[in-house]
């Protein structure tokens, strides 16, 4: 099973970059059948890569919450009415809809949402995001290491 992990977020906005950092770490693991793409945001060009895999996992930060949310992994798919919006308005389900529209394929898809605390200017992750990063990586390492 070919898997693509797309971690996205702005690494210059604190915790918003946690998804990007997850993809960087997964990329370093060099697991067979797994590709990881760190991205600053979702773009329509990703649809071509998504169409080529069996499974895609989107990793992103949740908005800051009090108390912080736990990590959440959920199955997602394009829904009727999902339309592509560029920039920060983009959503994984809209990218799946674009993939379906252009390539007539929609792989199995998941979203892994990681907790955050602060999205101010800077590259450092808050303690909450650091914990979410570690938990997300443990979760992915276990999940991706087992053959499907």
Comparing 36 with 84, which gets the higher pLDDT?
36
Q: Would you kindly state where each structural domain of the chain is located, as residue ranges?
A: 3-145
CA 79 to chain centre: 18
Identify the sign of the CA torsion 70, 75, 81, 87: positive
What is the pTM for the complete model shown?
A: 0.92
Average pLDDT over the chain reads: 90
- Six token digits for residue 143: 């999940």
User: What is the pLDDT at residue 133?
Assistant: 95
* pLDDT at residue 87 is higher than 60: no
Average pLDDT (1-10) is 96
- Six token digits for residue 66: 């009090």
Inter-CA distances, 1 with 54, 136, 147, Å: 6, 21, 8
Contact 54, 35 (CB under 8 A): no
Q: What is the CATH number of domain 3-145?
A: 3.40.50.1450
> Residue 4 in 3-state DSSP?
strand
pLDDT digits (tens, 9 = 90+) for 15-32: 999 999 999 999 999 999
Contact 113, 9 (CB under 8 A): no
The phi-psi region of residue 99 (left if phi > 0; otherwise alpha if psi is between -120 and 50; otherwise beta) is alpha
Least confident piece of the model among 51-55, 59-63, 88-92, 104-108? 88-92
């Amino acid at each position: 099973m070919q898997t693509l992990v797309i971690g996205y977020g702005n690494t210059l906005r604190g915790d918003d970059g946690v998804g990007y950092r997850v993809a960087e770490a997964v990329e370093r693991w060099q697991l067979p059948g797994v590709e990881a793409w760190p991205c600053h945001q979702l773009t329509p060009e990703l649809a071509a890569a998504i169409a080529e895999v069996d499974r895609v996992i989107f990793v992103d930060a949740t908005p800051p919450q009090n108390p912080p949310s736990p990590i959440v992994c959920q199955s997602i798919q394009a829904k009727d009415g999902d339309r592509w919006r560029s920039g920060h308005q983009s959503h994984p389900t809209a990218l799946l809809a674009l993939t379906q529209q252009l390539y007539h394929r929609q792989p199995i898809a998941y979203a892994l949402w990681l907790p955050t605390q602060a999205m101010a200017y800077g590259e450092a992750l808050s303690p909450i995001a650091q914990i979410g990063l570690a938990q997300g990586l443990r979760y992915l390492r276990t999940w991706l290491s087992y053959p499907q």
